[in-house]
Amino acid sequence: MKPNTKFILWILGAFLFAFIAGRFVTPGPVPAPKPVHAPGRAAAVYVQPIKPSQTSEKDISNIPTISAAPAITSGSPSGAAFVQAPVNRGQQTPTTSDLTISELYQLIESNPKSIANVSFINSENIVRVERVNQLPSLVKVSDVGGKQALLAKLDKSKISFQTVEPKVDPIAKLISENFGTILVLLVIVGFLIYSSRRAAKQMGSITGMGKSRSKDVEKLKDSIAKVTFKDVAGCEEAVKELRRVVKGLVGANVYKEFGAELPKGILLIGPPGTGKTLLAKAVAHETGGSFEVTSGSAFVEMLVGVGASRVRDLFESARKKVAESKKPHIIFIDEIDAVGGKRGGGTGSGSNSEREQTLNQILVEMDGVIGNQGIIIIAATNRVDMLDDALLRPGRFDCHVSVDLPDRAGREAIFAIHIGERLIASDVTLAGLAHRTYGYSGAEIKGVCNRAFILAAERYAGRREALVQSGMSAEQVAAELVKETTMVDFDEGVDFVRYGNPDVAKQGRMKIIDKKNTAYHEAGHADTAVISPDADPVVKITIMRRSKALGYVQTMPDTDRVSITRQQALSRIVMAMAGRAAQEVFLNTVDAGASNDFQQAADMAKRMVTAWGMSRLGPISVGERGEGPFGGGGGHAGFGQDLGNEIDREIRYITSTCYKAAKKIVEANRERIEALVAILMHKETVLADEWQALLKAYPSKIKWEDLTLPEAEFTEEGGK
């Protein structure tokens, strides 16, 4: 059945239901008394005879309605029917003879026979009096009591009377009589409108599936309005490359003169938060063009063809935009690896072929962007090795720009950008901040600053409040307080970004034994961190609980590291293993708290074996086992089962040997660890200076050379 026919049947059904429901909801017709036929009158009407003796005030106002008819008959009080003069019920015919209620009373007493009929108009205090050979009169009765008194008099004088309905507006009557039906109908019609709108919406979302999900260009205008290359720091190479693109897009194009083609697609490669989106926005702003941001995952649907259609839509609207505005249009595709992974492998499932179709469409569209059309596609990924080769070919994403974690100078510059014009305390230096944030991305540095400003603002507000309460004027308070952010604020920001919020309440409720457990665990990490000659110095040891950790040992290199030696890798694994080793040696406890350490150790060992050639397996580099083109199983493993087993064995060998080494270190340095645990139990945190003093007071009783560490085949060639 067609949806339209179904819909019409639905409506008809609903109306039928409404009608039937209405019949039940509406009060049924009043049981009619027997009709009394008036001779000579064609119409029969129903009259409710009323007996004064039974009539109460309520009864009178509740006299049943008489259906409309040109004439009526009435019952006498005794119930006998007799013919009445025609009364146009509901019509208050104008009268020529006025009659007051007292005149009517007199008439009833003096000459009852002159009164042919009296009609009480229901729910109104008016009676209609018909006299023999006279025009009818309308008489006002004071109230319901007046009506009753009149009724009694008429009854006594045996004058016939009846009730009639006042004139009713036929529409109002219809509504009042069918109120229930109308109500049910309205509800049903409302429901139908609501469901048809919902259906239309759903249809719309189905038909709109193929529409690009990129963020609205207009809405992004504000976000790019202020972004320039000056707002990005720590990635000079990327800025240089993108400035080149901007130059080629606007103004005199020297590249054209030389017949040089600018890249259509630029691939920004780097971890999250390093400023890739920011760079793309800066390009859009500097070219005066528009900016559209989407993500690889926004193209991926289970339905085959939807992603491809979204890609078409994205490029179509970009072309329109450029044609209309005559300005460049920047499309930024974040996480392109979600859709641009290697093709050809995988299970051939719906989602894989959908991805392949989508990727093909991206390639087709990129090929279609001929010459300098003003469309620049900037994509971001952290897994360039995962991308399909076709995507990286000349004419597509052939311009690769690394946007790595910022180095020390970069971090200083990023801090400078995010601190801006704000006041900072004299103990804060950009160099100091950069030193505390090795390995932090631009976005994390922004987070550090923001946290520090929040803390500074709260401290300022607290002190201002206290000063105002002490009686200082607003001017005095302003002169007394400085709106500055201190190094303590930034320090807290650094920890907040990595380890989360301090959980002071939970910390207070922690049992001593649990605190002790954490203290030995962290002391183990700290103690082993300083054994390796070129290990990074420890800057903080704490058992203060935060949302992401029970405690931690923070190390920071004096100078940024650009690579990692085998010894450094091993020392990191030893350090990671030392938390559990210390718990075992000092408390004879094994708990779940070391799982994250083991993960880190295993990751490092894996990289040593499979990527860095730092194991007994020699200088090999193999991909992820079982990794398909889109991260699924069944792809190119790059190695067979035998090598896989050897890799697993080697990883276990490295981690277990390092664990034994860690145990040896903490056993040798018992005194130092006990001293550190005592301080941690007392004040929870030990900073670099105090730690240095401890190291002097308790020199290590074991050296790196004394340890039995994992062997490597090629130590002669310089693995260490």
Interface segment toward ligand ADP; rule CB under 6 A; list 115-123, 438-446, 533-541, 589-597: 438-446
Residue 308 CA neighbour count, 13 Å, CB half:
16
Phi, psi dihedral angles at 543 (to 5 degrees): -115, 20
Q: Which residue is nearest to ligand ADP (CB)?
A: 442
Question: Which residues is 235 bridged to in the sheet?
Answer: none
Does the footprint of ligand ADP cover residue 443 (CB under 6 A)? yes
Which 8-state DSSP code applies to residue 31?
Answer: P
Please identify, using beta-carbon distances, which residue of 232 and 707 lies nearer to ligand ADP.
Answer: 232
Does the footprint of ligand ADP cover residue 434 (CB under 6 A)? no
Closest by Cα among 410, 395, 386, 394 to 269: 386
Does the footprint of ligand ADP cover residue 448 (CB under 6 A)? no
Min dist CB 414 to ligand ADP, Å, is 5
> Is 522 among the catalytic positions?
yes
What are 702's two structure tokens?
A: 């074991």
Min dist CB 291 to ligand ADP, Å, is 12
Does the footprint of ligand ADP cover residue 272 (CB under 6 A)? yes
Indicate the residue type of 223: S
Does the footprint of ligand ADP cover residue 442 (CB under 6 A)? yes
Does the footprint of ligand ADP cover residue 287 (CB under 6 A)? no
DSSP-assigned states of every residue in 249-284: HSSS-HHHHTTPPPPSEEEEE--TTSSHHHHHHHHH
Place of tokens 């109908």: 185
Min dist CB 230 to ligand ADP, Å, is 10
Strand pairing report for 137-140 and 161-164:
unpaired
Number of residues that bind ligand ADP (CB under 6 A): 17
Min dist CB 277 to ligand ADP, Å, is 3
Interface segment toward ligand ADP; rule CB under 6 A; list 144-152, 191-199, 232-240, 299-307: 232-240
Min dist CB 242 to ligand ADP, Å, is 12
Please identify, using beta-carbon distances, which residue of 334 and 597 lies nearer to ligand ADP.
Answer: 334
Does the footprint of ligand ADP cover residue 384 (CB under 6 A)? no
Q: Identify the helix (H) or strand (E) that includes residue 685.
A: strand 685-687
Please identify, using beta-carbon distances, which residue of 497 and 578 lies nearer to ligand ADP.
Answer: 497
Min dist CB 245 to ligand ADP, Å, is 17
Min dist CB 279 to ligand ADP, Å, is 7
Please identify, using beta-carbon distances, which residue of 270 and 628 lies nearer to ligand ADP.
Answer: 270
What binding mask, one character per residue, do residues 233-252 give for ligand ADP by CB under 6 A, x or -? Answer: xxx-----------------
Please identify, using beta-carbon distances, which residue of 447 and 524 lies nearer to ligand ADP.
Answer: 447
Does the footprint of ligand ADP cover residue 430 (CB under 6 A)? no
Min dist CB 558 to ligand ADP, Å, is 23
Does the footprint of ligand ADP cover residue 383 (CB under 6 A)? no
Min dist CB 271 to ligand ADP, Å, is 7
Does the footprint of ligand ADP cover residue 446 (CB under 6 A)? yes
Min dist CB 215 to ligand ADP, Å, is 13
Min dist CB 287 to ligand ADP, Å, is 18
Phi, psi dihedral angles at 704 (to 5 degrees): -55, -40
What binding mask, one character per residue, do residues 135-174 give for ligand ADP by CB under 6 A, x or -? Answer: ----------------------------------------
Q: Which one of residues 90, 273, 634, 644 is an interface residue with ligand ADP (CB under 6 A)?
A: 273
d(CA 285, CA 132): 100
Per annotation, catalytic residue among 365, 444, 522, 584: 522
351 within 8 A of 380, measured Cβ to Cβ? no
DSSP-assigned states of every residue in 303-346: STTHHHHHHHHHHHHHHHHHHHH-S-EEEEEESTHHHHBPPS-S
Interface segment toward ligand ADP; rule CB under 6 A; list 60-68, 229-237, 352-360, 664-672: 229-237
Does the footprint of ligand ADP cover residue 276 (CB under 6 A)? yes
Closest by Cα among 408, 430, 253 to 328: 253
Min dist CB 317 to ligand ADP, Å, is 22
d(CA 680, CA 329): 57
d(CA 227, CA 504): 39
Phi, psi dihedral angles at 123 (to 5 degrees): 60, 15
Phi, psi dihedral angles at 495 (to 5 degrees): -70, -35
Indicate the residue type of 217: V
Strand pairing report for 265-269 and 538-542:
unpaired
Q: Which one of residues 417, 487, 488, 675 is an interface residue with ligand ADP (CB under 6 A)?
A: 417
d(CA 42, CA 189): 42
610 within 8 A of 621, measured Cβ to Cβ? yes
Please identify, using beta-carbon distances, which residue of 335 and 492 lies nearer to ligand ADP.
Answer: 335
Place of tokens 């020390």: 408
Q: What is the 3-state secondary structure (H, E, C) of 110-177?
A: HCHHHEEEEEEECCCCEEEEEECCCCCEEEECCCHHHHHHHHHHHHHCCCCEEEECCCCCHHHHHHHH
How many residues are there in the chain? 720
Indicate the residue type of 630: F
Closest by Cα among 401, 402, 405, 404 to 265: 401
Please identify, using beta-carbon distances, which residue of 339 and 380 lies nearer to ligand ADP.
Answer: 380
Please identify, using beta-carbon distances, which residue of 310 and 446 lies nearer to ligand ADP.
Answer: 446
Interface segment toward ligand ADP; rule CB under 6 A; list 73-81, 274-282, 472-480, 559-567: 274-282
What binding mask, one character per residue, do residues 35-54 give for ligand ADP by CB under 6 A, x or -? Answer: --------------------
Residue 603 CA neighbour count, 13 Å, CB half:
8
Q: Which one of residues 232, 266, 553, 605 is an interface residue with ligand ADP (CB under 6 A)?
A: 232
Phi, psi dihedral angles at 333 (to 5 degrees): -110, 105
Does the footprint of ligand ADP cover residue 374 (CB under 6 A)? no
User: Which residues, numbered 103-132, are part of the site for ligand ADP (CB under 6 A)?
Assistant: none
Please identify, using beta-carbon distances, which residue of 234 and 374 lies nearer to ligand ADP.
Answer: 234
Does the footprint of ligand ADP cover residue 185 (CB under 6 A)? no
Q: Is residue 115 classed as helix, strand or coil in its secondary structure? A: strand
Does the footprint of ligand ADP cover residue 278 (CB under 6 A)? yes
Q: Which one of residues 136, 263, 265, 275 is an interface residue with ligand ADP (CB under 6 A)?
A: 275
Does the footprint of ligand ADP cover residue 296 (CB under 6 A)? no
Does the footprint of ligand ADP cover residue 409 (CB under 6 A)? no
10 Å Cβ neighbour count for 619? 12
Phi, psi dihedral angles at 215 (to 5 degrees): -70, 145
DSSP-assigned states of every residue in 34-45: PPBPPTT-S--B
Binding site for ligand ADP (CB under 6 A): 232-235, 272-278, 380, 414, 417, 442-443, 446
Catalytic residues: 522
